[in-house]
Structure 1
Amino acid sequence: MRDVNPDRLNSTLAKQYVFDIKGLLRRAAGLTKANFSSLLQGSVVLFLTFVVLGVFAQQYITINDDGTYVFEHQSIIEIVAICIVAPLLTGLYMMGVFVARGVKTSVFTVFQFFPLLLLLALTQLVNSILVQLGVVLLILPGVYFYLASSFSLMLVADRKLTPISAIILSCRVFNAYWTQIASIFGVFFLLFATVPLTFGFSLIWVLPFYFSTMGLLYQELIGEQGVSTEASENDVNESSFDA
């Protein structure tokens, strides 16, 4: 039986969780090594999906002589891309969660959440709109929404929350430990910066490590939903963020 701690989310929102960045990254690295094959295969599926979508979209892009370009049917193509990518991305995030819970995974886990396509696509679409609006207004709000919404897809898949409830709860969890979570994203920003320097070969480790870390972070801060989670559900339904 897996360890279910219904009070984990409440402890996180109450800022009672002891956040050890080095320890968490060390554990995530160990989980990545132990489950490297399935995590890498899932990452390859996502990477190839982006390549195929890029090749497909390229035929609708016309570059003018002055350097400007026209992207025909851009909105439709972007929505279709979100509908395809969101379930796959969620599958990879949940692979990290399952690994953290000691559940065996395979490359087919990536496709497990396509039945939730509409909810996941809507969640990702709202996230993208919030990030783009934040970037247009000021850069920092865009960065905030990008980081703060990082748990939303997992919350929809794992706890079956609505997109808005998942985004709100994700932001509340981020607000509770924003410096530590932002620091972890900073580490991965540096790791992804090595990709051009290694001609892309570092992605072989960085991508599985990233999804393993995000899954472990979700499990540590939010965890599984137990039987006695009325308080957690009440927290989710609140419409205001905790600073």
Structure 2
Amino acid sequence: MQEHNDEQQPMIIGGNLTEALAGKYHLSLGEVFKQTFTVTKSHWAPLFLGFLAFFGILLILTLVAFNLLPEAWVNQVIPTESNPQVGQNGLLVLSLIGSAVGAPFWGGLVLMGIRHSVDIPTKAADVFDGFSRAGALIVTLLTTSVITQLALLLTGQIHWLISVLAQIYFSVIFAFALPLVIERAITPLNAIYYSVRIVHYKLPLFVILLFVVTGLIIISSFAFFLPLIIVVPLIFNLVGVVYKEVVGVTIKLDKTQSLDDDQTPWSA
């Protein structure tokens, strides 16, 4: 059995970050969806199981928090008969807490989708891989959440339609922030800046992708969310494929992997 011991330089599959920052990238929605469906056929189970683990942990933490927090705080975020409307402050607090707790898990799920885009298999436990960059992921998600929530509060004072447009806009422009942090180890502020810059070159295409994702979730809700078994992996694999096509995925040869091993020798 021949062992491969030579040092391997990392290589990029797909796009190029430097060119993406200059707007020199091509994104075909037809090709993206085709790749996404193909990838999801082979790599849906780990993503769905990883998402279930994340959802279960988040649910447990939420129940614990509601039992430990002062009742006055809890009443701000839970509708009651006397106060059916959740306050804007309550929504902001919920968003920030969710971002801080969920950021490493979102990073892990995104990284799984990125690996799938280059046909690297994963396992459900990989959802915890985001904790290797937990601090940066939390800062990134908190920053984008605060910016989005403040924008929604301001635009909501003008007109509800402007607020809806702002929600769409900010949901799209930060799309590459978490992937850049978890896959390229880019600092949070740089990742946010890079994401905004890259998306602006082809903003309508990314809005269409957002509508597709939203549509899939809405359709799933009409079927008691059962289609989410496939839709959830599809969404994260879609993120991975788009990221690969635009920015590119860094891979390297695992030096401990023998050339004639049946498993893939590449890692990302």
Q: 1:108 aligns with which of 104, 125, 146?
A: 125
* Secondary structure in structure 1 of the residue aligned to 2:249: coil
Give the unaligned 5+ runs of structure 2: 1-7, 156-162, 252-268
Instruction: Work out the CA distance in 1 between the residues paired with 2:86 and 2:119.
Output: 48
Match for 1:99: what amino acid?
A: H
Contact 2:26 2:246 in 1 (8 A): no
Q: Which residue of 1 aligns with 2:175?
A: 150
List gaps (5 residues or longer) in structure 1.
227-243
- In the alignment, is residue 123 of structure 1 matched against residue 144 of structure 2? no
Q: CA RMSD in A?
A: 2.7
Contact kept? 2:48, 2:229, Cα under 8 Å = yes
Question: Where does residue 22 of structure 2 map in the other structure?
Answer: 14
1:207 maps to 2:215: no
Paired residues, what number?
A: 225
CA-CA distance at 1:64 after TM superposition: 5.3
> Which residue pairs with 2:57 in the alignment?
49
Q: 2:107 aligns with which of 67, 86, 90?
A: 90
| TM-score, normalising length: structure 2 | 0.75
The AA in structure 1 aligned to 2:63 is: V
Cα distance change, pair 121–143 in 1 and its aligned pair in 2 (3 A):
same
Question: Aligned equivalents of 2:21 and 2:81: distance in 1?
Answer: 54
For the 8 Å contact 1:156–1:163, the answer to whether it is kept is: yes
What does 1:1-243 correspond to in 2, within 5 Å? 3-4=11-12, 8-59=16-67, 60=71, 61-62=74-75, 65-68=81-84, 81-138=98-155, 139=163, 140-224=165-249
How many angstroms apart in 2 are the aligned matches of 1:69 and 1:189?
24
**Which deviates more, 135-144 or 202-211?**
135-144
- Please report how far the alpha carbon of residue 3 of structure 1 lies from its aligned counterpart in structure 2 after TM superposition: 4.9
**In terms of mean alpha carbon deviation, does 1-10 or 184-193 score higher?**
1-10
How far 1:224 moved relative to its partner? 3.4
In 2: Cα distance, 1:153 partner to 1:115 partner:
13
Structure 1 CA distance, aligned partners of 2:85 and 2:64? 16
